[in-house]
Amino acid sequence: MYEDKTSKVYAAYAKDELLRLSSSSGGVFSLLAEQILSQGGVVYGVALSSDCKSAEFIRVDQLRELFKLRGSKYLQAETGGTYDQVRADLEAGLKVLFSGVGCQINGLKLFLQRNYDNLFCVDVICHGVPSPVLWRKYVEHMQKQNEARLVLVNFRCKDKSWQDFGMKELDENKKEVYISKDADPFMQMFLRNYSLRPSCYECTAKK
């Protein structure tokens, strides 16, 4: 039987249209992160690595760095030594916003083994995450095809429309490529659930 443990539900989106366009959904993540930063806190979330071949958790303590966390990167992110860093910030009394998919939030809570009043967790809605190896191979393929290194990727570019979104890639020669989600092989594999991790089919974070 379904048991509703939710105490309150709110729906919201950012009023700033530019912020919504540069976010994957309604931009609420950025609004929450701005609040924490304005109070001298720190924000943890997922950024693309500088070579674009992987996604990783990073710590942001400046508003001007927040853009790195904005937008979904549709591949499994490496947590690295982040949980240790989060604990150190919490013990130092800083307000910490930690954002990621549900299993990463659960992992952090298991790691910490206690509650902190200064910890704010934001888990994004997640139906599953693609293999990071597949993403690396996709980047290598694109780089070979274009004979240039990728320097920036927007997985959910809405320049055409919100419905007809696509992948926007910028290379080292400042050449921009837009590939509709219907034509991009990586997005097709993600959206059709061909490339999700086996663990996502036994996800306990959503139970």
Ligand X SMILES: Cc1cc2nc3c(=O)[nH]c(=O)nc-3n(C[C@H](O)[C@H](O)[C@H](O)COP(=O)(O)OP(=O)(O)OC[C@H]3O[C@@H](n4cnc5c(N)ncnc54)[C@H](O)[C@@H]3O)c2cc1C
Interface ranges with ligand SF4 (CB under 6 A): 101-103, 126, 128-129, 197, 199-200, 203, 205
Residue 164, CA atoms < 13 Å, CB-side half-sphere: 7
Q: How far is CA 52 from CA 108, 115, 135, 136, 153, in A?
A: 25, 35, 9, 8, 7
Site string for ligand X, 104-123 (x = CB under 6 A): ------------------x-
Strand partners, 152: 170
Scanning 3-11, 96-104, 145-153, 165-173 for contacts with ligand X by CB under 6 A, the matching segment is: 96-104
d(CA 187, CA 169): 13
Residue 125 contact among ligand X, ligand SF4, none, beta carbon within 5 to 8 Å by kind: ligand X
**By CB under 6 A, residue 37 contacts ligand X:** no
Q: Which of 59, 61, 75, 84 minimizes the C-alpha distance to 139?
A: 75
Give me the least distance between CB of 98 and ligand SF4, in Å please: 14
- Give how many residues touch ligand X by CB under 6 A: 28
DSSP string, 16-75: -HHHHHHSSSSSHHHHHHHHHHHTT-EEEEEEE-TTSS-EEEEEE-SGGGGGGT-S---S
Closer CB to ligand SF4, 126 or 177, in the complex? 126
- Does the protein bind ligand X through residue 79 (CB under 6 A)? no
What's the CA gap between 115 and 138, in Å, rounded?
A: 40
CB of 140 to ligand X, least distance (A): 19
- Residue 90 or 129: the one with the smaller Cβ distance to ligand X is 129
Partner interacting with residue 205 (select from ligand X, ligand SF4, none; CB below 5-8 Å by kind): ligand SF4
Residue 29 structure tokens: 């993540």
CB contact at 8 A, 166 and 180: yes
Q: Closest separation between CB of residue 85 and ligand SF4, Å? A: 21
Find the binder of ligand X among 124, 151, 179, 203 (CB under 6 A): 124
Binding site residues, ligand X, CB under 6 A: 23-30, 45-46, 55, 69-75, 77, 99-101, 122, 124-127, 129
